[in-house]
Structure formats: structure tokens, C-alpha cells
Amino acid sequence: MFYVLFFILGSVMGSFFHVVATRISNNESIITPSSHCHICNHKLRWYELIPIISYIIQGGKCRKCKEKLPLSYLIIEIVTGILYAVCYHEYGFSADLIISIIFVSILIIVIISDIEYMIILDEVLVFGSVITIIFYLILYGVDGTVYHVLDAALAFGAMYALKLLGDFMFKKESLGGGDIKLMFFFGLVIGLPLSIVTIFVATFIAFPIALFILFSRRDNMIPFGPFLSMAAILILISGIKIDDIINVIVNK
Ligand SMILES: [Zn+2]
């Protein structure tokens, strides 16, 4: 029963995150104007705003101009719904559930804006970091929070060092500023060691896709942020601990 509730909550939020990512990327207000069709400006009524269901009933088209709506709308709603339900499955009703939902939500906005506009929005990462730190302060007090912030700073520093190394080796910009700032947020929530692991996991996910793009000879700019974010989400919802990874390596 709660799985369904978390799925519905996630799909509603996913639909909202798409609006947030699109509007901030275009320097528009999040609140006004109300949701509308991007082709004909037709104002959406409440029954056209139901996640997933509206899309399916309308056959993926705007009701007025019959223009096709991007499939990404539907995918984002479904994926966010699933991720919320998985967070609930992994953490139950706990403090970690709130933190994991914030983490997943912020990263979904990052993924959308980075894929569609090639930017990782500072305001989104700052908002995510601040709200997470506030929750840590409430839950664990100042002493408990310091460790998280320290991990965040170290993860940021490690990524910055990697960027300097990459810039030196490839003689061009290797990692964007957004990817480095992203590591601060990772360090804050999943800690320093697992943040480093995300870089490897992200490379692993990105590699076949990068090859495909290279061979299909399309434009060769692919943002790394979405892969980092997907890797971090996978690591968070898998509930894996750094000790598990070390054990696997040491026992081999
Ligand atoms: Zn329309």
C-alpha cells in the first residue's frame, strides 16, 4: 500500500522536477505562468496534469494542438515514482528515508537539466545541500553534521584534483565545474569513499554509451553529470556500504 503511495508521490514530484529543471535552465519563474503546452501555450487543466495517466489518455499529445509531447515527460514521472518507492523499500519510515528522497529528487533535476541543457544548476545543488545540512543538524546535532560536511569538502577536493590532472593530461577542459560541485553533494550524503566509487561506476555506465556516440559520429559532447548522478542514486538505493566493497576486493 505504501509502495503505491510513494510511487504516486514520486510521479507527481517527477512531473514537477521536469518543470523546475526546464524553467530554471531557461531563467523562468517556477511559479508563474501555470503549466502550459510549449507549442500552442494552451493552459493545462487539472485533468491534464495527472502524471502518467494524462499522458497515456491523451496518447502523448497536447489536447489542443495535437502536437506530440516528449516521451521524456512520461519516463521521468515513472522513474521518479519507482525511485521513491525503492527509497521507501530500502529505508522504511526513517530519517534516512527523508535524506534519500531529497538526494534522489535533487539528482533527478540535475540529470534533466544536464541532458536537455548541458548545465548543472548551482541553485539546485545549493538548495539540496542546504536542506540536507539542516536535516542533519536536526537529526544528529552539530557534531554529527561536521563529519558529513567534511566528507563533502573532501569529495569536492578530490574531484577538483582529478579535473586538474585530466586538464593536464588531455590539454583541455576534462570535467565541468558542475561535476565538481556535484561531488560536494554526494560527499554530504553518501560519504567520501562512496563518492569516489561513483566516479568509477559512472565511467562504467558511460563507456558503452560514449562508444556508441563516437561510432555513430554524432556530436561528441556528452555531459558526465547524468552518469555521476545515476551512479550515486544506484549506490544510495542499493544500500551498499564501503566496507562491503573493501571486503570483496580484499577477499579476492
Ligand atoms: Zn499544444
The 10s digit of each residue's pLDDT in 205-246 is: 988 887 887 777 666 667 889 999 999 999 999 888 888 888
Short-list 109, 114, 239, 129, CA closest to 189: 129
- pLDDT mean across residues, the chain: 90
pLDDT digits (tens, 9 = 90+) for 88-145: 999 999 999 999 999 999 999 999 999 989 899 999 999 999 999 999 999 999 998 9
Q: What is d(CA 217, CA 61) in angstroms, rounded to the nearest whole number? A: 31
CA 179 to each of CA 15, 56, 166: distance values in angstroms, whole numbers, following the listed order: 24, 35, 13
Reduce the DSSP state of residue 61 to 3 states and report it.
strand
What's the 76 CA to ligand 1 centre distance in angstroms?
A: 20
Q: What is d(CA 196, CA 202) in angstroms, rounded to the nearest whole number? A: 10
**pTM of the complete model:** 0.91
Q: Does residue 4 carry a pLDDT above 90?
A: yes
Give 69's pLDDT tier (boundaries 50, 70, 90): confident
Q: Which amino acid is at 127?
A: F
How far is CA 58 from its chain centroid? 28
What's the 43 CA to ligand 1 centre distance in angstroms?
A: 9
DSSP β-bridge partners for residue 61: 68
Bond preceding residue 223 cis, omega within 30 of 0: no
**Continuous segment of H or E residues that includes residue 54:** helix 53-57
What's the 38 CA to ligand 1 centre distance in angstroms?
A: 6
pLDDT of residue 20: 92
Neighbours of ion ligand 1 (CB under 5 A): 37, 39-40, 42, 62, 64-65
What's the 121 CA to ligand 1 centre distance in angstroms?
A: 28
What's the 251 CA to ligand 1 centre distance in angstroms?
A: 59
What's the 39 CA to ligand 1 centre distance in angstroms?
A: 5
Region 51-61 average pLDDT: 90
What's the 45 CA to ligand 1 centre distance in angstroms?
A: 12
What's the 68 CA to ligand 1 centre distance in angstroms?
A: 8
Q: Which amino acid is at 96?
A: D
Cβ(225)–Cβ(179) below 8 Å: yes
What's the 42 CA to ligand 1 centre distance in angstroms?
A: 5
Q: What is d(CA 162, CA 231) in angstroms, rounded to the nearest whole number? A: 18
pLDDT of residue 168: 87
What's the 57 CA to ligand 1 centre distance in angstroms?
A: 15
11: cell is 510521479
* Weakest-pLDDT range from 45-54, 131-140, 177-186: 45-54
The burial class, CB within 10 Å (0-12 / 13-18 / 19+), for 63 is middle
